[in-house]
Amino acid sequence: MTARGQQEPIQYGLGGPHHAPKWGAGYKQALREQANRKMIISNFVTQLPLETNRVDLDPDLKDAWGLPAMRITMTGHPDDLKCMEFFKQKSVEILQAAGATTVWAEPVSEARGGAHSRGTCRMGNDPKTSVVDKYHRAHEVPNLFIVDGSSFVTGGRNHPTMTIQALAFRAADHLIKQAKSGRV
């Protein structure tokens, strides 16, 4: 859970309070009145892996070069949706306990990936159920290393950068050792 009070004017215009003007004199007045009196609580929940979730090529849709376009097929696990609802309610309670005069929360809906998608090249020991090993080396393609968030089997928080960096350092150390021994 994270609480944020500051927003740039364009963010406020795009995601300000319900029924607030998004442009013109009313927008400027709302900025003056609410800019230092607003808080957003965001919650980050895990996304449990489902075998049906995947990234593949669309059989019909083509990109600008006539190649198959990327397609993301994703459904939230029922526990993910329950967790989102729980944290939404807790966030409302926190804001009300803090004395907020206006509180609103959007309905819980399916998450569609976002900026921190994970899990498309799952890490594991078994090539039948995973794409890369613990050092990010692909099981089926010799000398291919995939070092990013796609190896995560689940995502516990929304900003995985530090974990990705730690795994990249581990993969690099392993790659160096393998190269020195002639196995890469």
Query: What local confidence, expressed as pLDDT, does residue 51 receive?
Result: 79
Query: What local confidence, expressed as pLDDT, does residue 93 receive?
Result: 96
Six-digit token string for 143: 């000398």
Q: Length of the chain, please?
A: 184
Asked if residues 149 and 156 have their Cβ atoms less than 8 Å apart, the reply is no
Hey, which residues are catalytic here? 116
Query: What local confidence, expressed as pLDDT, does residue 1 receive?
Result: 66
pLDDT tens-digit series, residues 63-117: 999 999 998 888 888 998 899 999 999 999 999 999 998 898 888 887 655 556 6
DSSP character string of 4-63: E----HHHHHHH-STT---SHHHHHHHHHHHTTS--EEE--------TT-EEEEEEEEE-
* Mean confidence (pLDDT) of the chain: 85
For the purposes of burial, counting CB atoms within 10 Å of the CB of 76, is it exposed (0-12), middle (13-18) or buried (19 or more)? Answer: buried
pLDDT > 90: what percent of the chain?
A: 38
Q: Span 126-133, mean pLDDT? A: 94
pLDDT tens-digit series, residues 29-68: 887 877 777 788 888 777 777 778 777 899 999 999 999 9
**One-letter amino acid of 74:** M
pLDDT greater than 90 at residue 120: no
Other Cβ atoms less than 10 A from the Cβ of 180: the count is 9
Name 57's bridge partners: 70
- Would you say the pTM of this structure is higher than 0.95? no
